[in-house]
Amino acid sequence: MTSKTALPLRPAALRLGVNIDHVATIRNARGGLHPDPVRAARQAAEAGADGITAHLREDRRHISDRDIERLVAEVDRPLNLEMAATDEMLAIALRHKPHAACLVPERRAERTTEGGLDAAGQQDALMPVVAALRDAGIRVSLFIEADRRQLAAAVALGAPVVELHTGAWCEAMLEDPAGAAAARHLERLVTGAALAADLGLECHAGHGLTFDTVGAIAALPTIAELNIGHFLVGEAIFGGLDSAIRRMRALMDRARATAGGQRSA
Ligand code: PXP
């Protein structure tokens, strides 16, 4: 007899990319070799990271060229290279051929990546960079705001992946988790993640995520990957990197499993 009971929909797997930039920030504060971001990447892999993310900035304020070389050669996890869409960075990406390249906006004076890439306004400049990365077999992602115009531009550019910028929502959550701004930003992310999937884009998210905020984003069923760095490196000071990553992973998995349950028929 065939059971008519509908099985719960299996939510898509959710990957964790651990961004190790700020291990390099601490190393560079003294100019030596310790702490080594490659060692952190290996530990992250052991703790459950599915991938490693590193941003080679134009000013090399944290990750260095040598770090990228070593992350590709020595770490048994796919590397997601965050980079500005410049000739210099494109040449580096083509030389190292990371698994993925995430194009981010970059201004020298900013403390961190502020706001998403204006993919809609810079289509002509981005087009050859996206094409060259794709031709080299590198999975291209665009770090954008959860905005219909930007998502449509990602499709027009032929980028298979977008990463939705969660920074503004995380900041609003710090100020007032129950406030209207936080609700508005979250709604935008919810709509954007659904629209990305409708447009055939693989959807990632990241920036500013913490133990308190990761659940709401992990629960969005179309999100395939979260990239998290600063908070994990900060938490590592108190309880170790391994335990911070394991806890983040558990929070993500729990939120995703619960969301799957809610979607079951
Ligand atoms: N995703 C992208 C594209 C980023 O630029 C960053 C910051 O380097 C992150 C994710 C990670 O953000 P955070 O360090 O705040 O977790």
204 lines ligand 1 (CB under 6 A): no
Residue nearest to atom 9 of ligand 1 (CA): 207
Between the CA of 210 and the centroid of ligand 1 the distance, in Å, is 12
Six-digit token string for 89: 């960075």
pLDDT digits over 6-43, tens only? 444 445 689 999 999 999 999 999 999 999 999 999 99
**Cβ of residue 21 lying under 6 Å from some atom of ligand 1:** yes
Domain count, the chain: 1
- In this structure, is residue 246 part of a structural domain? yes
Give residue 179 CA to ligand 1 midpoint distance, Å.
24
Q: Whose alpha carbon is nearest atom 3 of ligand 1?
A: 143
Q: What is the pLDDT of residues 195-240, one digit of tens each?
A: 999 999 999 999 999 999 999 999 999 999 999 999 999 999 999 9
Q: Does residue 6 fall inside a structural domain?
A: no
**Which parts of the chain fold into alpha helices (H)?**
21-30, 37-47, 65-74, 87-96, 123-135, 148-157, 167-175, 180-198, 214-218, 230-239, 241-263
Which of 54-58, 106-110, 146-150, 200-204 comes out lowest in average pLDDT? Answer: 106-110
Residues noted as catalytic = 55, 82, 207
Q: Is residue 182 domain-resident?
A: yes
The DSSP code for 122 is T
Question: What Cα–Cα distance (Å) separates residue 78 from each residue in 98, 226, 233?
Answer: 7, 14, 19
CATH number of 232's domain:
3.20.20.70
Nearest CA to ligand 1 atom 5: 113
| Structural domain contains residue 10 | no
Closest residue CA from atom 12 of ligand 1: 207
pLDDT of residue 202: 97
Question: Is residue 8 included in any domain, yes or no?
Answer: no
Query: Is residue 108 in a domain?
Result: yes
Q: Which long-range contacts (CB under 8 A, 24 or more apart) does 259-264 make?
A: 259/11, 259/218, 259/219, 259/220, 259/221, 260/8, 260/9, 260/10, 260/11, 260/221, 261/8, 263/8, 263/9, 263/11, 263/221, 264/6, 264/7, 264/8, 264/9
Domain holding 121, by residue range, is 15-259
Q: Is residue 178 part of a domain?
A: yes
Of ligand 1's listed atoms, the one at least distance from the Cα of 207 is 12
